[in-house]
Amino acid sequence: MTDQITITRPDDWHIHLRDGQSLERSVTDAARQFSRAIVMPNLVPPVITAEDAAAYEARIRQNIPAGNPFQPLMVLYLTDNTTPEMVEQAHAKGVVAAKLYPAGATTNSDSGVTDINATFPALEKMAELGMKMLIHGEVTTNDIDIFDREKAFIDSILSVIVDKFPTLKVVLEHITTSHAADFVRGAREGVAATITAHHLLYNRNHMLVGGIRPHYFCLPILKRNTHQEALIEAAISGNPRFFLGTDSAPHARDKKENACGCAGCYTAYTAIELYAETFERAGALDKLQAFASEFGPDFYGLPRNTDTVTLKREPWTVPQTLPFADTEIVPLCAGETLNWKLVD
Ligand SMILES: NC(=O)N[C@@H](CC(=O)O)C(=O)O
Ligand SMILES: [Zn+2]
Ligand SMILES: [Zn+2]
Chain segment 163-195, per-residue pLDDT in tens: 999 999 999 999 999 999 999 999 999 999 999
Per cent of the chain over pLDDT 90 is 99
Pick from 189, 190, 274: which is nearest to 232 by CA? 274
Task: Output the CA 64–ligand 1 centroid distance in Å.
Answer: 22
Q: Per this entry, what is the length of the chain?
A: 344
Q: What is the DSSP letter of 188?
A: P
| pLDDT bucket at 2, cuts 50 / 70 / 90 | confident
Residues 74-87: what's their mean pLDDT? 98
> Helix, strand or coil for residue 59?
helix
Give φ, ψ of 306 to 5 degrees: -110, -15
**Shortest-distance atom of ligand 1 to CA 16:** 11
pLDDT of residue 174: 98
Position 344 pLDDT exceeds 90? no
- Number of C-beta neighbours around residue 298 at 10 A: 14
| Cis-peptide, bond into residue 10, ω within 30° of zero | no
Pairing of strands 242-244, 308-317: unpaired
| Strands, sheet with 308-317, edge to edge from the N-terminal-most edge strand | 4-8, 308-317, 337-342
Closest CA to 231 of 155, 189, 176: 176
C-beta separation of 202 from 228 below 8 A: yes
> Is a pLDDT exceeding 80 seen at residue 1?
no
- What atom of ligand 1 comes closest to residue 14's alpha carbon? 8
Partners of 52 in beta bridges:
none
Atom 2 of ligand 1: nearest residue by CA position? 264
What residues are in contact with ligand 1 under a 6 Å CB criterion?
Answer: 16, 42, 106-108, 136, 218-219, 247, 249, 263-264
Tell me how far apart the alpha carbons of residues 50 and 97 are, in angstroms, rounded to a whole number. 11
Strand stretches in the chain, DSSP E: 4-8, 12-15, 36-39, 71-77, 97-100, 132-135, 170-172, 191-195, 242-244, 308-317, 322-324, 327-329, 337-342
Residue 232 Cα to ligand 2 midpoint, Å, equals 19
d(CA 118, CA 104): 16
Distance CA 135, CA 77 (A): 10
Q: Whose CA is nearest to atom 8 of ligand 1?
A: 247
Those residues whose beta carbon sits under 5 angstroms from the ion ligand 2 are 106, 136
CA atoms in the 13 A half-sphere facing the CB of 268: 35
Rounded Cα gap, residues 44 and 142, in angstroms: 24
Closest alpha carbon to 51 in 102, 86, 5: 86
Q: Given 247, 286, 326, 344, which residue is catalytic?
A: 247
CA angle 186, 192, 40 (to 5 degrees): 150
What is the arithmetic mean of pLDDT over 212-228?
98
Q: How far apart are CA 54 and CA 118, in angstroms?
A: 25
| Radius of gyration over every alpha carbon of the chain, rounded to an integer in angstroms | 19
Residue pair 217/226 in contact by the 8 Å Cβ criterion: no
What's the DSSP call for residue 112? S
Give the pLDDT score at 225.
98
Catalytic annotation on 247?
Answer: yes
ipTM surpassing 0.95, yes or no? yes
Mean pLDDT of the chain: 98
pTM, to two decimals:
0.98
For residue 309, the SS3 value is: strand
Residue 192: what pLDDT?
99
Residue 90 near residue 51 (C-beta atoms within 8 A): no
Positive or negative CA dihedral for 3, 9, 11, 17?
Answer: positive
What is the spatial distance between Cα 110 and Cα 101, in angstroms, rounded to a whole number?
A: 9
